[in-house]
């Protein structure tokens, strides 16, 4: 049996007509059926993309075509165990987004469409005959470089540095997995199980880039309930959460220290990074870290205590920005002044690679030709300037 689902980023489908029998029409806020979750694993398993038709359509737009919104028909065959066995995604021409067109156009193309199979592979879906297993994960025989952080490292359409940084490494020698997740602090990255996912996948000889701080400030007991306690000590405080639970909250440094120690315990190599830089300027000078750089200072202090590398990303990026000038830097950011465009993310990625080269990191042995072409960067060991 084949199943066709119309996926659209638009708010309403009232003008598209009713759904054909047996088909689903998913609007922006509609829930996702289990079978669609399986058929669209590449969109749903990646923490950058929300589990909604809007999220899937936006993902497909950014990966398969231009970074604009389109409607798509996702079609798949159900096997005898009610699992998606084969699938393809078809762009629906503008003005023709209907469930009828969805079924007529894509069901006919489901059989033997080599071009669309190739397009799906470019999307990150594995070969269609492989039951859509997740496309990213550690590979046998080569080490893995994990990225742990927030939206400045992982944002849709490669607007976080953790995606383009993979281009600076040779994929035949190392796997780069961007496990950063938007909106997370060190506290929520741990509490939501995102960190434990990395630890479960870690193998001896792997590497983990650890960067937090953008979402770690504020009152720990106030919405959005993600701030840590300040400092690097072992102080704790118990807070009541909105759902009636209590949570024991630690200092920012405690969380970073735990991450570092967990990586070391698995025989892997942690590298602690200070924050990326916001597009905030004063008298020709760019801001060097939130809260006068306190999160960078705390990150550096923990790294020094644990005897692991610290990469002063804040000053490396800030130096580059100031050499470019405020006017040239502005197009590299979105209006919120924290998140970058694709070009801004790629620049940050290149500067992180430059810092790795300048620090003599063993990761440089895995660089691609693009990574090897980057000039090394070096900053003083302190995050203060």
Question: Of the candidates 312, 234, 329, which has an alpha carbon nearest to the alpha carbon of residue 271?
Answer: 312
Question: 383 in a domain, yes or no?
Answer: no
- Are 21 and 98 members of one domain? yes
pLDDT of amino acid 339: 93
Inter-residue contact 361 to 349 (CB < 8 Å): no
- Are 163 and 41 members of one domain? no
Question: Of the candidates 34, 5, 14, which has an alpha carbon nearest to the alpha carbon of residue 103?
Answer: 5
Question: Of the candidates 2, 12, 21, which has an alpha carbon nearest to the alpha carbon of residue 90?
Answer: 2
pLDDT in tens, 103-130: 454 444 433 333 333 333 333 332 222 2
- Are 11 and 42 members of one domain? yes
- Are 228 and 335 members of one domain? yes
Is pLDDT above 90 for 15?
Answer: no
As a whole number of angstroms, the longest Cα–Cα distance in the chain is: 67
The CA distance from 109 to 76, in Å, is 11
Question: 377 in a domain, yes or no?
Answer: no
Q: List the structure tokens of 124.
A: 């990150």
pLDDT in tens, 53-89: 444 444 444 433 333 334 555 554 444 444 444 445 5
- Are 321 and 179 members of one domain? yes
Question: 382 in a domain, yes or no?
Answer: no
- Are 318 and 340 members of one domain? yes
* DSSP state letter for 166: G
Question: 73 in a domain, yes or no?
Answer: yes
- Are 192 and 105 members of one domain? no
- Are 89 and 148 members of one domain? no
Q: Please report which confidence band the pLDDT of residue 101 belongs to, taking 50, 70 and 90 as the band edges.
A: low
- Are 106 and 243 members of one domain? no
Q: Give per-residue burial for 321-333: e unless 16+ CB within 10 Å, then b.
A: bbeeeeeebeebb
Cα–Cα distances in angstroms (integers) from residue 94 to residues 100, 123, 333, in the given order: 14, 21, 30
Question: Of the candidates 91, 79, 99, which has an alpha carbon nearest to the alpha carbon of residue 38?
Answer: 79
Question: 135 in a domain, yes or no?
Answer: no
pLDDT of amino acid 72: 54
Boundary (domain end) residue, out of 130, 163, 195? 130
Boundary (domain end) residue, out of 98, 130, 162? 130
Residue 355 has φ and ψ, to the nearest 5°, of: -65, -40
- Are 256 and 319 members of one domain? yes
Helix axes 290-306, 252-265, angle to 10 degrees: 40
Residue 282 has φ and ψ, to the nearest 5°, of: -150, 120
Domain count, the chain: 2
Q: List the structure tokens of 225.
A: 């309930």
Identify the three-state secondary structure at position 226.
Answer: coil
Question: 96 in a domain, yes or no?
Answer: yes
> What is the extent of the structural domain holding 203?
144-372
């Amino acid at each position: 049996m084949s199943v066709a689902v119309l996926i659209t980023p638009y708010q309403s489908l009232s003008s598209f007509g009713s759904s054909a029998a047996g088909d689903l029409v998913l609007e922006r806020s509609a829930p996702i059926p289990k079978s669609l979750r399986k058929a669209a694993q590449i969109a749903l398993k990646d923490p950058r993309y929300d589990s909604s038709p809007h999220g899937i359509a936006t993902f497909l737009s950014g990966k398969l075509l231009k970074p604009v919104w389109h409607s798509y028909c996702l079609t798949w065959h159900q096997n005898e165990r009610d699992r998606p066995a084969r699938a393809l995604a078809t762009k629906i021409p503008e003005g023709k987004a209907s469930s009828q067109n969805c079924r007529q156009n894509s069901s006919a193309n489901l059989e033997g469409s080599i071009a669309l199979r190739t397009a799906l592979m470019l999307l990150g879906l594995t070969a269609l005959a492989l039951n859509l297993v997740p496309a990213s994960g550690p590979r046998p025989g080569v080490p893995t470089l994990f990225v742990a952080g927030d939206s400045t490292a992982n944002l849709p359409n490669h607007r976080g540095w953790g995606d383009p940084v993979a281009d600076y490494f040779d994929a035949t020698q190392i796997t780069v997995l961007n496990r950063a997740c938007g909106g997370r602090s060190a506290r929520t990255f741990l509490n939501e199980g995102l960190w434990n996912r990395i630890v479960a996948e870690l193998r001896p000889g792997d590497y983990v880039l650890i960067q937090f701080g953008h979402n770690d400030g504020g009152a720990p007991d106030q919405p959005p309930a993600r701030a840590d306690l300040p400092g690097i000590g072992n102080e704790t405080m118990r807070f009541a959460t909105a759902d009636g639970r209590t949570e024991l909250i630690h200092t920012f440094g405690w969380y970073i220290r735990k991450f570092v120690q967990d990586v070391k315990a698995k025989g892997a190599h942690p590298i602690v990074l200070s924050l990326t830089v916001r597009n905030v300027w004063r008298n020709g000078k760019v801001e060097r870290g939130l809260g006068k750089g306190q999160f960078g200072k705390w990150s550096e202090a923990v790294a020094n205590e644990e005897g692991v590398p610290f990469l002063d990303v804040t000053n490396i990026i800030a130096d580059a920005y100031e050499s470019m000038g405020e006017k040239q830097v502005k197009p590299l950011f979105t209006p919120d002044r924290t998140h970058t465009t694709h070009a801004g993310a790629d620049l940050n990625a290149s500067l992180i690679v430059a810092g790795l080269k300048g620090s003599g990191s063993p990761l440089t042995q895995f660089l691609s030709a693009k990574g090897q072409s980057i000039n090394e960067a070096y900053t003083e060991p302190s995050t203060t300037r």
